[in-house]
A and B are shown apart, each in its own frame.
Chain A
Amino acid sequence: MTLGDILKESWLSVSGNKLRSFLTVLGIIIGVMAVVIMVAVGETVQQSITDQFSSLGTNTIVIRAGAARRGGVRSGNRNTLTISDAEQIQKLPDVMSITPAQSSSAQVIYGNKNWSTLMLGTHPDYTAIQDIEVEHGAFFDMTAVKNASTYAVIGPDTARELGLPDNPVGEIIRIQNMPFVIVGVMKARGDSAFGSQDDMIIIPITTLKKRLQGSPFPDSVSMIALKIYLDADNAVVTDQIAALLRQRHRLKDGDEDDFQITDMKQIMETMDTVTGYLKLLLIAIAAVSLLVGSIGIMNMMLVSVVERTREIGIRKAVGARERVIIIQFLSESVMISFIGSMFGLVFGVGLSQGVGRFILHYNVPFSIWPVILSVSVAVIVGLASGVMPAFRAAKLNPIDSLRYE
Chain B
Amino acid sequence: MKTELPIINLKKINKIFPLEIGGEQQVLFDISFVVNAGEFVAIMGPSGSGKSTCMNIVGALDSATSGTYELYGKDITTMTPDELATVRNEYIGFVFQNFNLLPKRNILDNVMLPLMYRGISIDDRNRRAHEMLDLVGLEKFKSYLPPQLSGGMKQRVAIARALSGNPKLILADEPTGSLDSKMGNEILRFFKKLNNDMGITIVIITHEFEIAQYARRIIHIYDGRITYDGPVPKNENVLLKSQKEHKK
Task: Say which residue of B81, B90, B100, B165 sits within 8 Å of A314 (CB atoms).
Answer: B100
A318/B62 contact (C-beta < 8 A), A12-B105, A323-B82 known: no
Any chain A CB within 8 A of the CB of B96?
yes
Residue B94 interfacial (CB < 8 Å): yes
CB of B88 within 8 A of CB of A317, answer yes
B61-97 residues with Cβ-Cβ distance < 8 A to A are 61-62, 81-82, 85-86, 88-90, 94, 96
A16 CB contacts on chain B under 8 angstroms: 104
Q: How many residues of A contact B (CB 8 A)?
A: 24
A4, A13, A313, A402: which has the most chain B beta carbons within 10 Å?
Answer: A402
Contact A318 B86, beta carbon cutoff 8 Å: no
CB-CB under 8 A from B85, the residues of chain A are: 316, 319-322
Answer whether A311 and B61 are a contact pair too, CB < 8 Å, given A318-B161, A319-B88. no
Are the C-beta atoms of B117 and A322 separated by less than 8 Å?
no
Q: Are B100 and A310 in contact (CB under 8 A)?
A: yes
Q: Does any Cβ of B come within 8 Å of A303's Cβ?
A: no
A314 touching B117 in the complex, CB below 8 Å, given contacts A4-B122, A399-B61: no
If over half of A's interface residues share one DSSP class (helix, strand or loop), that class is named, otherwise mixed; here it is helix
Contact call A317/B61, Cβ cutoff below 8 A: yes
Q: Which of A5, A12, A310, A318 contacts B94 (CB 8 A)?
A: A318
A341 to B233, CA, bound (A): 67
- Complex CA distance for A116 and B168, rounded to whole angstroms: 100
The A353-405 residues at the B interface (CB cut-off 8 A) are 398-399, 402
Known: A317-B61, A398-B61. A5 touches B104 (CB 8 A): no
Question: Does A324 interact with chain B (Cβ within 8 Å)?
Answer: yes
B114 within 8 A of A: yes
Minimum Cβ distance to chain B for residue A161 (Å): 72
Cβ of B56 < 8 Å from any Cβ of A? yes
Q: Tell whether A187 is near chain B: CB-to-CB under 8 Å.
A: no
Chain B 28-43, CB-CB to A under 8 Å as 1, else 0, gives: 0000000000000000
Tell yes or no: B149 within 8 A of A by CB: no
Determine how close the nearest CB of chain B comes to the CB of A400; give it in whole angstroms. 10
B105/A318 in contact, CB under 8 A: no
CB neighbours (8 Å) of A317 from chain B are 59, 61, 88, 94, 100
Would you give the 0/1 interface string for A315-354, flagging 1 where the beta carbon is closer than 8 Å to chain B? 1111111111000000000000000000000000000000
A73 at the interface (CB under 8 A from B): no
List B contacts of A310 (CB < 8 A). 100
B16 interface hit (Cβ, 8 Å) = no
> In this complex, what residue of A is CB-closest to B119?
A1
* Interchain CA distance A264-B62 in the complex, whole Å: 77
List residues of chain A with CB within 8 A of the CB of B89.
Answer: 318-319
Select B104's contact among A1, A2, A12, A398, beta carbons within 8 Å: A12
Whether the pair B100, A320 counts as a contact (CB closer than 8 A) is no
CA gap between A324 and B100 in the complex, in Å: 19
Chain B: CB-nearest residue to A316: B85
Can you list 5 A-B contacts with CB-CB less than 8 angstroms, sorted by A residue number? A313-B100, A314-B113, A321-B85, A322-B85, A323-B82
Closest 6 CB pairs of A and B: A319-B89, A319-B117, A318-B114, A321-B82, A321-B85, A16-B104
- A residues in contact (CB < 8 Å) with B: 1-2, 4-5, 12-13, 16, 310-311, 313-324, 398-399, 402
- Known contacts A12-B105, A318-B113, A319-B85; 5 additional CB pairs below 8 A are A311-B102, A315-B113, A316-B85, A322-B81, A323-B82
